[in-house]
Amino acid sequence: MRIVIAGGHGQIALRLERLLAKRGDEVAGIIRRPEQAGDLLAAGAEPVVCDLESASVEDVARHLEGADAAVFAAGAGPGSGTERKDTVDRGAAALFADAAEAAGVRRFLVISSMGADREPPEGTDPVFAAYLRAKGAADADVRSRAGLDWTILRPGRLTDDPGTGLVTLADATGRGDVPRDDVAATLVELLDEPRTTGRTLELIGGDVPVVDAVRTVAAH
C-alpha cells in the first residue's frame, strides 16, 4: 500500500512509518519543517514538506494522489497555545479530510485522544481542555463524511515504554496507559482491517495481542 501520514514527524507517526516501511509499504510523511526530513528518511518514509495550517485543499490533495490510505497524526504539540490547538488539531484534520476526499482516498485513520467525546472536567488545564475540544470537533467532522472509510483511534495516556504487543481495544476501555509503540502497531492492523470502518475505538495496555484485538473488534 501507499500510505500518507499527516504529522509525519510525530512520535507515533515515526514509529508507524518504521513499521510500514519494514513490511514493504510505501509511506510518505507530511512535515512542516524541512529539517525534519532526515528523521523520516531514517524511518523509511518519504518526507513531504507542506504546512497544513496554510496549504490549500488542492495542495494537500496532490500529495495524496495515488494513496491507498491516509492517517491523520498531526498535532500542535507541547508548548503550543489554545489557538494552535484549533488550527492544527481541528483545522488541519478537516483540511486533510477534504484533501483525501478530493484525491479519492477513502481509507482514513485518525489518532485522536481519550476524553475527546465529552466536555473536559472542571479544573482541566485550559490548553489541554482546548486540545480535547479540538480533537472532539475534528472527530465529529470526520464522522460526518460519507466519502471516507474512517476509523478513529483514541489512545489512553501515552508512554515511551517499550511496546508489549498486548492491548485492550474496544468502543470504551476505561482509563489507562498505552505505549506509543503499541499505538503504532494497532494502527498498522487497523489499516488492514476494513471492517473497522465507521468505528471510534479506545486503546490502552492490556493482555490481548494487537492482531487478535483488532480482529475481535472487527468481528463485532
Q: Residues with catalytic annotation? A: 131
Strands 166-170 and 208-209: antiparallel
Contacts for 123 with CB less than 8 Å, ≥ 6 apart: none
Helix axes 180-191, 11-22, angle to 10 degrees: 50
DSSP structural state of residue 95: H
Q: Among candidates 138, 126, 35, 49, which has minimal Cα distance to 89? A: 138
Please report which residue ranges of the chain form alpha helices under DSSP H: 11-22, 37-43, 57-64, 82-84, 93-103, 126-143, 180-191, 210-218
